[in-house]
Structure 1
Amino acid sequence: MPVVHHRCRRTEQKAEELTNARSKNRQMGPNTLLAHGPYDPHSLHGFVNPPVIHASTVLFESTDAMRHRKSLPYTYGLRGTPTTKALEDALSELEGADETILVPSGLAAITVPLLAFLGAGDHCLVVDSVYTPTRQFCNGTLRRMGVEIAYFDPHIGAGIADLMKPNTKVVFLEAPGSNTFEMMDVAAVCAAARAGGAVTMLDNTWATPLYFRPIAHGVDLSIHALTKYPGGHSDLMMGSVSATAATAAQLRETQMQIGLNAAPDDVYLVLRGLKTMGVRLERHQASALELARWLERREDVAEVRHPALPSFFDHALYARQFSGCSGLFSFLLPGGFKQAATFLDALELIGLGYSWGGHESLAVAVDLSDRTVAKGPKDGTFIRLQVGLEDVADLKADLEAGFAALAATAGTAG
């Protein structure tokens, strides 16, 4: 027994030393944070990864402990386990947030905070370049609840103050815009929203906290589809919401009232994915930029919308706020959906599928018919590319096949 006691004391000492070292060095690089995270291996016999805990019931030491369970870290599986806490803490550290919640999908990460801060009679402002399922939730469930929804131009900046009403409770942002990649002056919008008494939320899935930290720009709640780059392998669905100290309690309370949390096996996969997210993003970024520059030089491409391209109309806004870019961008093909379908159907390596952020490249034809303000060009069809981890030369060859099919069709029609 004395030996065991000595070992436990030594383990506790190592854990304390690691905690102290981390507190003294908050300037660690992003890949270091991803590789190590806030989890301390010495808290569990030195194992480098957090345990996967499958749990519903938690036993209490006494009836008194049950009565005062709010002071305990774990009380029921739905409220979280050491597995979920490890990922929550890792994301909070990356985001600079007070607290993070996990939910079963990226869409749930959008709907839960909206439900947390909106009720009947409230007014909600939503950027018009928002993710389509977000718009569907706002136009459907929120309007049925009696919430007034209004959409605004992504370039509005501080001018959003003119749209604020006494009952405006939420301003919902997405940067860059879904599919068309318009940039926003996030700090200007957030300052005006805060002055008007509204809570701000931003879908930060495109950039991840490695390339943009919304809370540092005045956002109250940073939203992610962990399905994308944190998961990274197209084999799970999960979302997260990272909150400031002022919004965390209301967010967590709503999550528990609805009864949503993430499953431990999926949490483990995201924890594992985080370890390599930094190096994967570097590859996604480099490959996407190379393809964007290549497409920009082609006469059969009308426009390329990639925020990191100097030619992009919002490049200055991007460069001022973001430290990097991911593997998702769009380019405009002349013609309508029929021409876009000819191009897409000729692709063999690049898959036709929704989602993004995984190891494989994907392409979809963009539908902007639901936009009210940020409608995009009148002529042409945007193709959204998710650039995966394949060799760029192979992706170029596949895209060349698409352009060749399009040219052959045009020649036949002529």
Structure 2
Amino acid sequence: MPNVSRRTIALASLATLAATLAPKDRAWAEKKYGPGVSDTEIKVGQTIAYSGPASAYGQLGQAEAAYFKMINDRGGINGRKINFITVDDGYSPPKAVEQTRRLVEQEEVALMFGMLGTPLNLATRTYLNSNKVPQLFVAAGSEQFANPEKFPWTIGFQPTLRSEGIFFGKQILAVNANPKIGVLYQYDDFGKEMLSGLSDGLGSKAAAIVASESFTPTDPTIDSQIVKLKSVGVDTVMLFAYAKQAAQAIRKIYELNWQPDTYLHSGSASMSATLIPAGLERCVGIKTARYMKDPSDPRWRDDPELKPFYEWLNEYLPTANSSDTFFLSGWTFSQMLVQVLRQCGDDLTRENIMRQAASLKDFRNPGLLPGSLINTSRTDYRVVKFMTLERFNGKNWESAGT
């Protein structure tokens, strides 16, 4: 009997201990939500240029909305639907700030996603970081969006503008030991960082930049800048511009019967937004840095990784041009956010959303070039690092062989 009593006491003690621990265990399993999240939805905010000088890029927002609709039709993410609130900022920093504040303070979105443009993202970055709102996978390449020490709530996606400029500098010297380089650049942080990176890539040959002409997004034309570059004997032209001005520059170069070696910012290498408006015959020989697959390139026509892209496009955007890189870009960017939210599980606090964005391990995004894997950490916010040089042949982009 004494043994039985001790056993009974021991079992009773274990039961008491279990009862004491159970609430804590249940607490660990509880769902954790921040603003904009419930059992049924995750609110995601975005401002993008549906109007104004960069309105061609509004197709990114349309594609992202269509991708999230597909995700929702398939049950959402861990049972929650994405409520994607995308609004027009006209590519105006003040309007972007106004719309961002409305999305955060009135709509109470969990995070901001995919805002276009360096100046707009810089304009909203301090506000979002001060309020600890994730600013994820911005559609701008400034190194300032890969600075986790000072701005831990902001992360980019594409290769940084500086790294692209460095890449161009090295590629130029690989084919021309003594170039005379002229630069057309947008007079803001975007253009200035590209120009700085180019100088760094040229190294001891930085003096090869013999002329640089700037413009603002609202300038009606850049014809005079192109004429000035030609007048100083430039043999290599860098177009650090978005679609509208890039197309204008290509047309003007052609009209001048000028044939410099021309390099185009990767973000403007779109068939529909830049090359077709410029005239495909005028674009032959132009080079760009490529980090994503191009749906207009025959190399990727039967790519098994892009089969889901064409199926999605056919079902959710049936009138879209499948060769337009903006739609593939929107499809690609959206998968980044979906991956992060999946990794969050039931912990959808803003802190954990940001933590997961900085914890991607060998993530393979099918829209990127083969061999490109995404790895991020608390000290490394550079998302895509791999790129190659490509040349336009009059019909599509092809490898430039370097």
Taking structure 2 as the reference length, the TM-score comes to 0.31
Taking structure 1 as the reference length, the TM-score comes to 0.30
